[in-house]
Structure 1
Amino acid sequence: MAARDTSSLLVVGLLLFFHTWGAWAIAEVNMEDRVDVRLDDTAQINCMFSTEDGLGGTIIQWFYVTRTGEKQRIYYLESGLSYPEKGTPFSDRISVNGTGATEGVVLTINKVQLKDELEFICYVKSLTDGTAEGRTKLRVFQTPATPTIVGVQKGISIQEESMSKIGTCEVTNGYPKPNITWYKDNTPMRSIPGEVNVLPSITIESTGLYSVKSELAMKVVKEDADAHFYCEVTYFAPGEETMMVETSPINITVYYPHTDIIMWVESPKGKIKEGDNVVIQCSGNGNNPYTTFSIKGGENLSADTSELVVENITRLDSGKYECFALDMESFEEISTNITVFVNYLEDVVIKPGKIMEVPQGDEREATCNALSSLPTQTAWFKNGEEVVKGHTLALKDATFDTAGTYVCVVTAEEVEGLERSGTMRVYIEGQPVILTPDITEMEESPEKTVDLNCYVQGYPYPTVTWSTSEGKILPATSETETDDGVISTASVKVTGDIIVFCNATNSLGEDSVTFNIKAITHTTPETNSPTIIPSTTVTTDSSVKLQTVSPNQLKKEGSGVIIAVIIICILLLAILGSVLYFLYKKGKICGRSGKQDLSKGKAGKDNIVVEMKSDNTEEAVLLGVNGEKQLPSDQ
């Protein structure tokens, strides 16, 4: 009895041990709460579990939860057997592999799509440890396109009663939905009733991506003309990251009325003078296209414009100019004005007049003035050179050189270009005076035409006539009046020796000059023959040599040199004759008695001879005083 009870207790103990051991060995599954992946990338979901049976004795199934909350199996894995379920959205895009550990598998999903953003379940069933499951949410992300901003093109008036559209921001094709925030300068903008309205709109594209648009409207103020508006776009990325990107800033045109206007002379800078083209402008401190401007001054008027151009302005245009600004919305008008003064310098006045006639040797004065709105300076000029500074030109002891054109220049130096000038012609009254030409005696070849010039001073302008010694009147080829007289030119053809007279007369007297023209004949030497010219050399035996000169030498020396040489030779021959006559009187060349007939006697040892040399002869020919030739044997 006791043994039976012991056996019963042992069986009960064993049953109790096995029951307790099974409770301790429950299956466990560990999975991440979520897995993030970008659109079109590959997602991997890990399922880690622990059982006593291991991977070989465990059945693993993968499920996903549909949008309606139902579980749909997509994969089955058992020792020696694995397959994806057919007919599911994942049939062709998933696979399951071991992790390399003894207890773990990985679900791989290729080309992730937006519709794959679901909850996935890993279900584990052990033969001894029971069942367990884990869940992971798959989240899909797509970076949106670069955001854009477009501002309104038209201006906005601060007098608008309702809010005006400022611009629109847009970002497209993002997932999850991006967010748009408006900024004015660095301040985020939120909707304020009656002042600011931010109106977003969301579009789900056919691809499932989000496009977001935001429109900003507000009641503008004057300060908004300088404000910068932009948008900030935030979106999500894998790993709980929030990304941000900003648009470029925009400005808006704000119209506000003028409360004050200014007016000025734009051109020319500085003082205005007659003849200038003057530009007058005005501007206001507002920015309203519905404001009209007009400028008035004397007979000048600009309508519907803030600029007035007065061409070739005169002193009559001096005075007040007024600018008007009319607001066409409120019909309020404001105005301002400036005073324009036009400086002037009148034409010069020369006294006694533009022509002054002064008797030779007398004194005269002339004055020059010009009426001006500014201080002036006066100077007198002659032939481009200043002769006196001041209003008065004094001519003392007038001569013909005093005659000429005098220019009076009056300048207002305060204004560039304000200058006037006038001329006065001065004539010096006097009888004609012919300035003696450099050459009045000349030699010219026959048939040559010679131009003769006669420069006559005097006023009234002299009458110039040309004539020859034979009474022939020559016409003047040209005649020019100068400041102090006349220049007359006549042409004469040389036919022989000729004398030409230049006669000048006026009401006060007359003058004349004579030109002597001698016709010279040039003898042309034979070719290669020397030209014999008496030598200026006196030999030691009281003989005079005649040297030969080549034609080339004659050509170089010129006719003047030849004439000089001939004159010298004649003088030497005259001296030689005088010496011979003196010796004859003294009986030095006529024997002892001194009465020897020179025509019969022969030349002695001391006879004076003239030696003739020639390049073509080898002998010297000696001439005695009686002119007879002496043979070489008589020497």
Structure 2
Amino acid sequence: MAVAPTLTCSLLISIYAHVASLQGDSAHISRTISAIYGEELRLPCPVPHQKNAQIIRWLLKTSSVEEWKQIAVAKGVRAPTEEGQFETLQNGTLLVRSMTIEDEGLFKCQVMKNGLEGFSVTSVSVFKPPAKPEFIESYPTFTAGTHSEIGKCIAKDGYPVGNITWYKNGKVLLHNGNETRVKVHIMKNQNTRLYTIESTLYYTLSKNDMDAKFFCEVVYPFQEGSDTQTSKPMKIDVYYPIEHVRIEVDPSNHVIREGDTVTLSCMADTNPSPAEYIWEKDGKQLGVLAQHTLPAVTKRDEGEYRCTVFDFDFNTKSAVMAIQVKAKEDNNELDRFGVIAEESHSADHHGKPKPLNKAGMVIGIIVTLMLVAFFTIITYYMCYYRKKTEKKPLEDLEERNAMDPGNVSLTVEQVVTEEQ
């Protein structure tokens, strides 16, 4: 983008530089004027003269390496040249029928009378406004996060070289070599010597650039100042992958009762709209539309509803919602809403859910093992203590019987008597 201003300045400097260097005639330049490409120009001769008894010659010099070229001459009468492009009128004024780039340079009016010569030099600069710039979009859609060629801005047939500036939502986009880059290409028509500028914008888009308006503006030198022309704005369509998924319930803000008709809507934050929806209840597929309707719900419609969406790049994300239905005969107050749980999680490109909380799972396992160990110890202790308690009275009884002499003698005697 910085190339065009440099070329413009260089061109203007070169024009005035070569004007000032033309065979020492710079000291005699009486004025500098502007001419419009393709339009008629009249140059009065500022040298004092009369309508007769003198010769008026007009000469043109377009570069420092060229000699003065006679383009029109008159001796008190109307005298057009052979080409018909230039004509000297009776009052000495030079008529240029249609200005071209080749006519830019120094015009000398030379008056000769009685062997004396007087002349005056006029510097003429030619300007041609370019056509209204055209913004050509490179692609119909763009992907967020990628450095993309947004489009080309083309300003045709101008002179001298202009400068193209890019805008987004009314703010100038400056070339920084990173997220914003501008490449300028200037072409010159060898026949007309007019310039065509082609500026290409490269930009890193984000989700926030959705529906942003881009346009370009060409600023070109014109006579003693400058002028501008602006292209039509162009809206940019930015694709971005799924960021969030949620489920909305209609009607909302009341308890879901048997007999109600409930509509579940799967809302996905992505552009374009998801390529596919999948509804499931307790692992069983229900439908493939963005909305799923439950007419005349019953207690059998209670459960966990999951909506999974697929975006343009086959990324997937899901939202889960648990629905509770109040029976007609049940007058107990439930939660204010029929929805009792909601959560969302993402999945990879193959549709495999990602774990939501690994730390929670590990803590749960540890706590479960500790509880199992605790109850095992309590059970073992109770069983061992009870068995030991029941066994001890029997042992005590046997020990007392063994130590009682009466019991022992009686037993022996009975045995002896039976033997006799």
How far 1:62 moved relative to its partner? 0.9
Q: Pick from 166, 174, 179 the counterpart of residue 182 of structure 1.
A: 166
3-state SS, counterpart of residue 49 of structure 1 = coil
Equivalent in the alignment of 1:250: 234
Equivalent in the alignment of 1:607: none
Equivalent in the alignment of 1:59: 55
Q: Pick from 83, 98, 101 the counterpart of residue 111 of structure 1.
A: 98
Equivalent in the alignment of 2:123: 137
How far 1:315 moved relative to its partner? 1.8
User: Residues of 2 paired with 1:251 and 1:326: CA distance?
Assistant: 26
Equivalent residue letter for 1:315: K
Equivalent in the alignment of 1:172: 156
Equivalent in the alignment of 1:310: 294
Q: Pick from 65, 70, 73 the counterpart of residue 76 of structure 1.
A: 73
Equivalent in the alignment of 2:207: 222
How far 1:74 moved relative to its partner? 1.7
* Residues 246 and 267, structure 2, Cα contact 8 Å, conserved in 1: yes
Spell out the pairing of 1:382-401 with structure 2 (5 A cutoff).
none
* Residues 29 and 123, structure 2, Cα contact 8 Å, conserved in 1: no
Equivalent in the alignment of 2:330: 373
Structure 1 residues 172 and 66 mapped into 2: Cα distance closer, same or farther (>3 Å)? closer
CA deviation vs aligned residue, 1:40-90 (integer Å, no higher than 9, x gap):
432111222258xx6655433111125661221122234x5663443xx4x
Equivalent in the alignment of 2:108: 121
Spell out the pairing of 1:119-518 with structure 2 (5 A cutoff).
119-127=106-114, 130-151=116-137, 154-160=140-146, 163-204=147-188, 207-225=192-210, 227-237=212-222, 239-267=223-251, 270-287=254-271, 293-298=277-282, 301=285, 305-325=289-309, 329=313, 334-345=317-328, 372-374=329-331
* Residues 74 and 88, structure 2, Cα contact 8 Å, conserved in 1: no
How far 1:144 moved relative to its partner? 3.4
User: Residues of 1 paired with 2:274 and 2:268: CA distance?
Assistant: 13
CA deviation vs aligned residue, 1:235-258 (integer Å, no higher than 9, x gap):
333x31311233343332223333
How far 1:126 moved relative to its partner? 4.5
3-state SS, counterpart of residue 135 of structure 1 = strand
3-state SS, counterpart of residue 176 of structure 1 = coil
Structure 2 length-normalised TM:
0.61
* 1:42 counterpart = 2:29: no
User: Residues of 1 paired with 2:187 and 2:220: CA distance?
Assistant: 15
Equivalent residue letter for 1:65: K
Spell out the pairing of 1:563-582 with structure 2 (5 A cutoff).
none
User: Residues of 2 paired with 1:266 and 1:236: CA distance?
Assistant: 62
Structure 1 residues 290 and 168 mapped into 2: Cα distance closer, same or farther (>3 Å)? farther
Percent identity, aligned pairs only, is 24
Equivalenced residues, count: 307
User: Residues of 2 paired with 1:304 and 1:193: CA distance?
Assistant: 45
How far 1:164 moved relative to its partner? 0.8
User: Residues of 2 paired with 1:267 and 1:248: CA distance?
Assistant: 45
CA deviation vs aligned residue, 1:254-312 (integer Å, no higher than 9, x gap):
23333433221135774434444432122234446677553322365356654333344
Structure 1 residues 121 and 340 mapped into 2: Cα distance closer, same or farther (>3 Å)? same
Spell out the pairing of 1:12-23 with structure 2 (5 A cutoff).
none
3-state SS, counterpart of residue 90 of structure 2 = strand
Structure 1 residues 299 and 203 mapped into 2: Cα distance closer, same or farther (>3 Å)? same
How far 1:181 moved relative to its partner? 0.9
User: Residues of 2 paired with 1:277 and 1:148: CA distance?
Assistant: 54
Stretches (4+) displaced over 6 A: none
Equivalent residue letter for 1:116: D
Equivalent in the alignment of 1:461: none
How far 1:326 moved relative to its partner? 5.7
Greater C-alpha Rg = 1
Answer 1 or 2: which has greater helix percent.
2
How far 1:121 moved relative to its partner? 1.5
CA deviation vs aligned residue, 1:459-507 (integer Å, no higher than 9, x gap):
xxxxxxxxxxxxxxxxxxxxxxxxxxxxxxxxxxxxxxxxxxxxxxxxx
How far 1:172 moved relative to its partner? 3.2
Structure 1 residues 154 and 278 mapped into 2: Cα distance closer, same or farther (>3 Å)? farther
Higher relative contact order (CA 8 A, sep 6+): 2
* Residues 247 and 320, structure 2, Cα contact 8 Å, conserved in 1: yes
3-state SS, counterpart of residue 33 of structure 1 = strand
3-state SS, counterpart of residue 165 of structure 1 = strand
Equivalent in the alignment of 1:24: none
Structure 1 length-normalised TM:
0.42
Answer 1 or 2: which has greater strand percent.
1
User: Residues of 2 paired with 1:264 and 1:373: CA distance?
Assistant: 25
* Residues 75 and 82, structure 1, Cα contact 8 Å, conserved in 2: no
Segments of structure 2 that go 5 or more residues without pairing to the other structure are 1-26, 338-420
User: Residues of 1 paired with 2:106 and 2:285: CA distance?
Assistant: 82
